[in-house]
Amino acid sequence: MSYIDVFNGDADGICALLQLQLDSPRSSRLVTGIKRDINLLDKVQADAGDRVTALDISLDKNRQGLHRLLDAGAEVFYADHHFAGEIPQHPKLTALINTDANTCTSLIIDDYLNGKFRAWAVTGAFGDNLFQSARDTASKLKLDDGQMDELHKLGTYINYNGYGQSIDDLHFRPDELFRSLLAYSSPFDFIADKSSAYELLENGFLEDIDRARSTKPEFETENIAVYILDDEIWARRVTGVYSNELANQTPSRAHAVLTHNKRGGYQVSVRAPLQNKTGADELCRQFPEGGGRKAAAGINHLEKGALPQFIEKFRGQYE
Ligand SMILES: [Mn+2]
> What's the CA-to-centroid distance between 218 and ligand 1, angstroms?
30
Q: Which of 151, 183, 203 is the last residue of a domain?
A: 203
Residue 209 in domain: no
Q: Do 46 and 191 sit in the same domain of this protein?
A: yes
Q: Do 159 and 287 sit in the same domain of this protein?
A: no
Contact in structure between 278 and 290 (CB atoms under 8 Å): no
Q: Characterize 280-298 residue by residue with b for buried, 16 or more Cβ atoms within 10 angstroms of its Cβ, and e for exposed.
A: bbebbeebeebebeebbbb
Q: Do 28 and 155 sit in the same domain of this protein?
A: yes
Residue 76 is predicted with a pLDDT of: 98
Residue 222 in domain: yes
Give me the domain span that covers residue 253. Answer: 215-318
> What's the CA-to-centroid distance between 225 and ligand 1, angstroms?
26
> What's the CA-to-centroid distance between 261 and ligand 1, angstroms?
24
Residue 210 in domain: no
Residue 293 is predicted with a pLDDT of: 80
First to last CA, the chain: 57
C-alpha closest to that of 13 among 63, 68, 55: 55
Q: Do 138 and 269 sit in the same domain of this protein?
A: no
Q: Do 159 and 19 sit in the same domain of this protein?
A: yes
Residue 173 in domain: yes
Q: Which of 140, 172, 203 is the last residue of a domain?
A: 203
Residue 164 in domain: yes
Residue 74 is predicted with a pLDDT of: 98
Q: Do 114 and 261 sit in the same domain of this protein?
A: no
> What's the CA-to-centroid distance between 171 and ligand 1, angstroms?
20
Q: Do 190 and 232 sit in the same domain of this protein?
A: no
> What CATH number is given to the structural domain containing 259?
3.10.310.30
Q: Which of 178, 203, 228 is the last residue of a domain?
A: 203
Residue 173 is predicted with a pLDDT of: 97
Q: Do 56 and 169 sit in the same domain of this protein?
A: yes
Helix or strand holding residue 165 (H, E): none
The tally of domains found in the chain comes to 2
> What's the CA-to-centroid distance between 319 and ligand 1, angstroms?
31
Q: Do 49 and 157 sit in the same domain of this protein?
A: yes
Residue 52 is predicted with a pLDDT of: 98
Q: What φ, ψ does residue 208 adopt, rounded to 5°?
A: -65, -45
C-alpha closest to that of 28 among 44, 11, 12, 8: 44
Contact in structure between 63 and 85 (CB atoms under 8 Å): yes
C-alpha closest to that of 279 among 296, 299, 304, 267: 296
Q: Tens digit of pLDDT per residue, the chain (319 long)?
A: 999 999 999 999 999 999 999 999 999 999 999 998 999 999 999 999 999 999 999 999 999 999 999 999 999 999 999 989 999 999 999 999 999 989 999 999 999 999 999 999 999 999 988 899 999 999 999 999 999 999 999 999 999 999 988 999 999 999 999 999 999 999 999 999 988 999 999 999 999 999 999 999 999 999 999 999 999 999 999 998 899 899 989 999 999 999 999 999 999 999 999 899 899 999 999 999 898 888 888 999 999 999 999 999 999 999 8
> What's the CA-to-centroid distance between 105 and ligand 1, angstroms?
6
> What CATH number is given to the structural domain containing 85?
3.90.1640
> Three-state SS across 100-163?
CCCCCHHHHHHHHCCCCCHHHHHHHHHHCCCHHHHHHHHHHHCCCHHHHHHHHHHHHHHHHHCC
C-alpha closest to that of 280 among 243, 307, 241, 250: 243
> What's the CA-to-centroid distance between 163 and ligand 1, angstroms?
13
Local structure of residue 274 (DSSP, 8 states): T
CB 206: neighbour CB atoms within 10 A?
Answer: 10
Residue 208 in domain: no
Q: Do 50 and 180 sit in the same domain of this protein?
A: yes
Q: Which of left, alpha, beta for 276 (phi over 0: left; psi -120 to 50: alpha)?
A: beta
Q: Do 155 and 50 sit in the same domain of this protein?
A: yes
Residue 170 in domain: yes
Residue 93, helix vs strand vs coil:
strand
> What's the CA-to-centroid distance between 206 and ligand 1, angstroms?
23
CB 13: neighbour CB atoms within 10 A?
Answer: 35
> What's the CA-to-centroid distance between 88 and ligand 1, angstroms?
21
**What's the predicted TM-score (pTM) here?**
0.90
Residue 129 is predicted with a pLDDT of: 84
Residue 265 in domain: yes
Local structure of residue 85 (DSSP, 8 states): -
> What's the CA-to-centroid distance between 103 and ligand 1, angstroms?
8
> What's the CA-to-centroid distance between 58 and ligand 1, angstroms?
9
DSSP string, 205-256: HHHHHHHHHTPPPSEE-SSEEEEE--SSHHHHHHHHHHHHHHHHHSTTSEEE
Q: Do 197 and 54 sit in the same domain of this protein?
A: yes
> What's the CA-to-centroid distance between 108 and ligand 1, angstroms?
10
